[in-house]
Chains A and B, each alone.
Chain A
Amino acid sequence: MRWRLWLLMAPAFALLLSIFAAPLLHYLWLSTQVQSVLTGLKPQPIGAQQWLRLWNDGRFWQDSWQTLRFSAASVSLEMVLGLAVALLLNQPLRGRGLLRTFSLLPWALPTTVMALGWRWIFNDPYGPISRMLAGLELPAIPFLSNPALTWMATVGADTWKTMPFVALLLLAGLQTIPTDLYEAAALEEATQWQTLRRITLPLLTPYLLIALLFRLAQAVGVFDLIQVLTGGGPAGSTESLALYAYLNAMRFLDFGYSATLLLGSFAILLILCSTVALMWRWSLRWQGGLR
């Protein structure tokens, strides 16, 4: 009986291992090789050189910082806006179903498709924003050509696309909160803010954590949006780790280093997610101790 259960799981886990585990092991090996255009694309062992190179590569650290900046900004925006939208959609309103569908649409569209759209929306001087500003006789905003602004444009486009997903997760969470809690709060004449602070947020905690971790992991791997919207520019200010690894493999034909970069990004992702999870647990314990 038991072994049959394992047999049922075997095909799925075999595929999972070959799609997730095997690549990571392969990268581990490839990161000890030099396989590039200069070796005629044949792997040659090189020891820990690639890792040294990674450590000394300013661009890796710059991209790490930019990836983290992007992730932190877009994930926190998505959480705040997502919560607001979830609260809105949780109210008994007319046309709620349709509103829910429409607000989920951005999430369902292909990233490359909308990234092209954003490129046109942010176009200077012919895009709609620039024209609107010109109509108001305001100076144009160089969304895609100013390093200080462009990363915010990418955050905006990413938030537009993934906020609905967060909102939906949180909405599911909101619907598990029993209504009598709110009724009790209303009897005690609690303000809306107090209700949110004392009832909604604590009970929503597991959903917030799931959404946070999931979105964080996806944001650290941002690629499609950046490649199509900015190509990493201007001045490399929006280049993400995944894009740098892609460039090394597909443009520079430097596979050993690309694998090292991919593993490096994976390490950063691991550190980030476990830090968040640990901090979360720690803060819960601290709150528990307080009570």
Chain B
Amino acid sequence: MARLLLLLWSLGPMFWQLYSSLKPSEALSGVGAGGWTLENYRQLLQGDPPFLTYLINSVEVGASSTALTLALAVPCAYALSRLSRRQARALTSLVAAAAAFPAVLLFLALLELARDWHLANQLLALSLPYAGLCLPLVILLLQAAFADIPIVLEEAALIEGMDLWQRLRWILLPLMAPAMASSALLVFLFSWNEYPIALTWLSRTELLTLAPAMARIAGSSVYTIPYGAFAAATVLGSAPLILLMLLFQRQIISGLTQGAIKG
């Protein structure tokens, strides 16, 4: 019973969107007949720019942010896990504070940053603030994972004469793979969903990522509310995420929970 309620609560609104997206807009406003239609999807996919563009932009930003975040976070987390306890603790609490910080408060300064450094309207540049915003959480997560690796392993490698890079590459990183995978997924989710910074950094419509594009969506039947198109966009915009969640739920969940246990 409780399970059913939980499912209804989580999935109900999504099913309503799915239903709305398959209905003609006249049926939605109560005039005209019912019936099913793919018209809303056709409109979206043939729009200008086509909806697919936003999805591709979001994937691009997500991928580059994930790569950048990991490239910065792995060495940092390693170093943190090898620092003296007191130093590490001071730094970690700073990082934890940053992890909770609401990103929206930064939008104005980041806007000026984009203007002064000519970073606006470049999808790859967007991964700079995204990596910055994700770093705290990912550092905490990876640091916890590094701390789990027995120090003797690394000492043995040191005796073998491996340098820092070799130890990282051959001993530590393979052991870190699960934690890195779940961090990567979390960063990707974040960049997929981020709104205020994308809203202020991107002003060319063909460069918009999904979140601001959704908020600015234009229906095709110009002056009636494009609820059907909205709903179709919600479905298309969340389908990749739902897929991602279904495929990688274990990693995402363990990533989140690891961060919680150690953070």
Chain A: residues with CB nearer than 8 A to chain B?
4-6, 8-9, 11-13, 15-16, 18-20, 22-24, 26-27, 30, 85, 88, 93, 97, 99-106, 108-114, 116-121, 123, 125-126, 128, 160, 164-165, 168-169, 171-173, 175-176, 207, 210-211, 213-214, 217-218, 220-221, 223-224, 227-228, 242, 245-246, 249-250, 255, 258-259, 262, 265-266, 269, 273
Contact size range, B: 35 or more
Counting CB contacts under 8 A, is B102 at the interface? yes
A23 touching B110 in the complex, CB below 8 Å, given contacts A16-B135, A88-B2, A172-B257: yes
Counting CB contacts under 8 A, is B90 at the interface? no
Counting CB contacts under 8 A, is B193 at the interface? yes
| Main SS at interface, chain A | helix
A117 touching B237 in the complex, CB below 8 Å, given contacts A106-B10, A110-B193, A221-B102: no
Cβ A19 vs Cβ B106 within 8 A: yes
For A210, what are the chain B residues with a Cβ–Cβ distance below 8 Å? 260, 263
The answer, among B105, B195, B241, for a CB contact under 8 Å with A265, is B105
Cβ A13 vs Cβ B257 within 8 A: no
* Chain A min CB distance to B194 (Å): 8
For A220, what are the chain B residues with a Cβ–Cβ distance below 8 Å? 102
For B252, what are the chain A residues with a Cβ–Cβ distance below 8 Å? 104, 108
The answer, among A100, A169, A223, for a CB contact under 8 Å with B249, is A100
* Chain A min CB distance to B13 (Å): 6
Cβ B14 vs Cβ A116 within 8 A: no
Counting CB contacts under 8 A, is B207 at the interface? no
The answer, among B17, B28, B73, for a CB contact under 8 Å with A117, is B17
Contacts of B51-101 to chain A: CB distance below 8 A: 72-73, 75-76, 78-80, 82-83, 91, 95, 98-101
Counting CB contacts under 8 A, is B222 at the interface? no
Cβ A113 vs Cβ B79 within 8 A: no
Q: Which of B35-43, B124-132, B149-157, B170-178 contacts A (4 or more CB under 8 A)?
A: B124-132
Cβ A5 vs Cβ B16 within 8 A: no
Cβ A9 vs Cβ B108 within 8 A: no
The answer, among A93, A175, A176, A259, for a CB contact under 8 Å with B108, is A259
CA of A223 to CA of B14, assembled, Å? 22
